[in-house]
Amino acid sequence: MARIRVDADRAIGTVDRKIFSGFVEHLGRCIYGGLYDPGSPLADEAGFRRDVAVALKELNPPVLRWPGGNFASNYQWTDGIGPVENRPKRLELAWFLTEPNLIGTDEFLRWCEREGYEPYLCVNMGSGTFSEAQAWVEYCNGTKDTYWANKRRENGREEPYGVKLWALGNEMYGDYQVGQLTAEEYVRKARQFANVMKRTDRSIRLVSCGQNGWGEWDRVVLDGLADLVDYHSIHIYTGSSDYWVNMLAPHQAERSLRAMRALIDSVTYRKKLSHEIKVAYDEWNVWYRYTEGVYEPSDQPPLEERYDHSDALAVATYLNIFVRHCRTVGMANLAQMVNVIAPIFTRPDGMFLQTIYHPFRMLSEHTQPVALDAFVDGPTHDLAESPETMHWLWPQPVADMNPFQVLDVAATRDQDKSTLTLSVVNRSPDEEITADIELRDVVVTGAGQVTMLRHSDPRATNDFDRPDDVTPEESAVDVSGASFRYAFPPCSVTVLRLPTRPA
């Protein structure tokens, strides 16, 4: 037996819808063959996949990050403008592919505008210069009679795109990155980029390049750029073939966000900042199924992860964590959206939704704007880690945070207390957990809605032959008053959406 207690007056912050954002990189079949596939009978007149557009719309990501990722550190944005037939093909040095530049700034921004997504562009701070970054801002946002604004007009776009979100490079700390920098070098270079970009358009919001949230890189970078940026990015992936490591590794994000909260509070106080800095957790996902070792040049990097049901539970845990840390997280971008470690998987004549698609859609649809402090007391699990259970690329131990509640819970409500939502992940692979749910300051006024993702086999997957093996089910729950009992099936994600009124 477990107990979940939620006080509707105990708000911990406001959930920014941008925590349900996405990321599309020029990598593998994410863009070419995924988002854009003119050879497919399912493509529209511009070459973009209609079925993919519909599936993305159901996820409702407010923001899409582009064009990378590691790809950004050697990307010349000017290669991707003007007549397509005149654009050069370039050797792409991050993923050892050839970039045909069929999709560039205008194609991506017009598609975002058409579909209703806010674009988030990452400038090249590897091989690129601050003059190139300044020109990109001018091309996208310029309103005057200037060279790059006029070049945009020549290319068929009179009105500026008004791109507000700009990342100052990607993972510049990595030795795998074109143009790797030390933290001090990055700060010096990023200040030059930020200066000219802001002079071109004062309204843009800048994102500094962070690492994992708790290291020296983040301290130096945030201290050096806090006066210029609105967000500080962090990236953490997790994953393991060991069930419990896979389930609980996302709590590394919780550690990271606690560390970032302290760093942000410290720099805000010391520098007497008048603006708020939030975390842009702009790459996250479960990711571990590919050949262990370094990448070798090839036509297709081995990144087309096939997700199982246990991965869906891990993704739901990530999203619960972002809700619980909404005071710190202003944006989170699932990496990525199509084919490459992605919830949507395509071939020219069709697509299917991977298991991780469903918890993202469930929480994107039902999470309310006010996050509440949910108390959970129930069965716990002590994680045992070893080199054999931890992935070589993400050797991030979390067992020091033992014991873990088996039920992971996030609670939200709307502004007038007429709707309360509970997102509950039962991470036990084989035990149903019944919980007494106590509400304070609100009462349930009638039947609620249940959306549940469950499967008896944690390793169950979807594919073209069985696209709905793992899929949500909806039902009603007939409860009322300030308390009720609910049984959460093993290996499940449950979203309870309850009509309420103030008590």
In whole angstroms, give the CA distance from residue 407 to residue 2: 8
Active site residue: 92, 107, 171, 254, which one? 171
Judge contact between 494 and 488, C-beta under 8 A: yes
| 283 counts as catalytic | yes
Apex 471 CA angle, 405 and 314, nearest 5: 30
Name the strand (E) or helix (H) holding 439: strand 433-440
Active site residue: 92, 254, 283, 385, which one? 283
Amino acid at 426: N
Q: How far is CA 314 from CA 238, 317, 352, 443, in A?
A: 9, 5, 20, 31
In whole angstroms, give the CA distance from residue 328 to residue 268: 13
Judge contact between 332 and 282, C-beta under 8 A: yes
Name the strand (E) or helix (H) holding 298: none
Beta carbons within 10 angstroms of residue 412's beta carbon: 26
In whole angstroms, give the CA distance from residue 325 to residue 340: 27
Name the strand (E) or helix (H) holding 183: helix 183-200
| 171 counts as catalytic | yes
Q: How many CA atoms lie within 13 A of 97 on its CB side?
A: 20
Phi, psi of 190 (to 5 degrees): -65, -35
Judge contact between 177 and 114, C-beta under 8 A: no
Token pair, residue 319, equals 């999203």
Q: Which DSSP letter does residue 143 get? A: -
Q: Which residues pair with 23 in a beta bridge?
A: 65, 335
Q: How many CA atoms lie within 13 A of 421 on its CB side?
A: 25
Judge contact between 419 and 498, C-beta under 8 A: yes
Residues labelled catalytic? 171, 283
